[in-house]
Structure formats: C-alpha cells, structure tokens
Amino acid sequence: MSVALFTLGGTISMAGSRRLTGDDLTAAMPGLDGLGHEVAIQDIEKIPSANLTAAKVLEVVDAASKAVAAGAAGAVVTQGTDTLEESAFLADLVWPHSQPLVFTGAMRNPTLAGPDGPANLLAALRVASSPAARDLGALVVFKEEIHAARWVRKTHSTSTATFESPNAGPIGHVVEDRVRVLTRPFRLDGVQGSAEPAELDTIRVALYTVTLDDDGLLLQGLADTHQGLVVAAYGVGHVPAALAPVLGELATRMPVVLTSRTGAGSVVRNTYHSPGSETDLLQRGLIDGGFLDPYKARVLLRLLVATDDDVAAGFAQYV
C-alpha cells in the first residue's frame, strides 16, 4: 500500500534558484525506509502559497481523493506556510474519506542551517499512513505535532514552531516512529453541496478588520461587488456604534459573519447590549462565527455561498 504525496512548492522546496521535486524531498529525508509504505509522488505546481487559489487547492484535494479511492493509505500535501491553514481547512470541509489528508511544509529552506522540511515531511507521511489518524479529516503536521485543520493557525512569521491550535492544542504527536493521537475530535458535517473549482473562483467574500475610530467608509458599495462579508471585530464581537447600522444594512443584502480579530476564543451572544455589541449585531442579522477565526470563516462562507448551502446552519456547527 502506498501513501500519496502531492507537492505544491513553498519554502520546503526552495533551494536557491532551484525548486525541489517530490523525489528531491524524499531523497533528503532520513528514515523514509522505515515508513513501511511506498510514497507515490505527484508534483503539481511549484508556486508560492501566496499565489495559491481555492480552485487550485480543490484540484489537489480531488487528486488526493482519487489516490485514496484507488487504495492509498492516506495523502500528504506540501505547500508554503503562508496560506497552509486556509488550504487545510478548505480541504477538511470537502474531504469525504476516513483516510487522513495531511498538510505540511517548512519554515527553513534546505539552504539554511537546520532545515525543518525533512522532519516535517517524514512525520506527515507517518501520520498519513497510520490507522490511528483515520476519521480525523484534514490535518496539519509540524514539529511532530498533529493539529486538526479547523483549529490550527500560523502564529509566528519565522519560528519553526509557528503552527498552533490556540483553542484546543494539538490532538496528537509523532514520537519516534509512532503516531500518538491523544484526543479525537468528532468530524463535522462539512459542506453538503459541491462546487467546481471554477465556480468557487467566481465567489467574492470580503474580510474586514475593525480598527480604532472605524467609520466603515471602506464598506461602501461592497454589496455590489461581493457575495459575502466576514467581520473581524474587537474582542468578543464588538464594533464602534457608528459601524453597527452599516453592517446591519449589509446583512440584509448578503451573509455577514461576525468573528473576533483576537486570534483565539469565541464571539459571544448575550453578554453586552450596547450599540455595536455582539447582541446588537446579531439582532441586526449578522451570523455568529463562534470559534472560527476570520480567515477560516471566510473559507467556509465562500464555500457555502458557492454551493448554495444554508449559511447559518453551516456556521452553527462552530458556535
């Protein structure tokens, strides 16, 4: 039985002006002979993760799905870390298999002292081939930690320990050659409808971060150009009072999701009641984003709009 490996570029494959292939990556990885599975490599496209699109991610997920349906024990995707948390969450929303789909990458490229790519890739392959990782959906493996895609975030611009799950912590670890899953979060329903990659590319969902003295001027005309909005609000879901009616009016024309810009924790529902509070905004028609951070909320909203799924029901799973 094989493990499917799909390479998408990023720091893990940067060697000066040369871009490493999957064969290069596995050749540089001590311990691969102990994996117990053949690695079936598909080099997709060597592009920085900043240039990735949701459509491209869905194409890779589809290829991984076909590999698993053909008998692969699991699949691994390597890509740049800048958008890895969004790619993994998008994949988790549509991944239908019990076999794991694992995302990994690197913070130090192979030309630097102590490159982390080989260790991350070996750990990811071990997780992807492990029966212990089945029925967990899409995962992110970094620094021998296993993270659920719906919780993980990139938290540091340069540290090799950048990936954390602030609200939950890692769900497991790779210890020597053993995959140790310590807690098993239940699988959510994901997105019920289906969207072709080209269809998703036509859906525009804005992300708006609220800041001090925010007057909402940048939101003017948004409903004419976009099909949805995610608001990264203060704290537990607050905005300046003057911004509340602007968001309420937008919520009559498109789905508007309320999240927190803090990076951890949930928005609340009924603690504060002043104009611009979470209670006020939800009464104006904004949708509770729960524990989802703004970036993941945008991924989910875009997919729900593209598939004509019930947006409120889709987000209710994360509240």
> Tens digit of pLDDT for each residue in 195-212?
777 778 889 999 999 999
| Residue 197, number of CB atoms within 10 A of its CB | 17
Torsion 147-88-3-6 (CA) sign: negative
pLDDT at 33: 86
To the query of whether residue 21 is one of the catalytic residues in this protein, the response is no
pLDDT at 189 over 80: no
Cβ proximity of 102 and 75 under 8 Å = yes
Question: In the predicted model, what is the mean pLDDT of the chain?
Answer: 95
Higher pLDDT among residues 47 and 154, named by residue:
154
Tell me which of 11, 26, 78, 259 is the catalytic residue: 11
Report the SS3 class of residue 32: helix
pLDDT at 254 over 90: yes
Report the SS3 class of residue 145: strand
- Confidence class of residue 270 from pLDDT cuts 50, 70 and 90? very high
Rounded distance between C-alpha atoms, residue 140 and residue 147, angstroms: 5
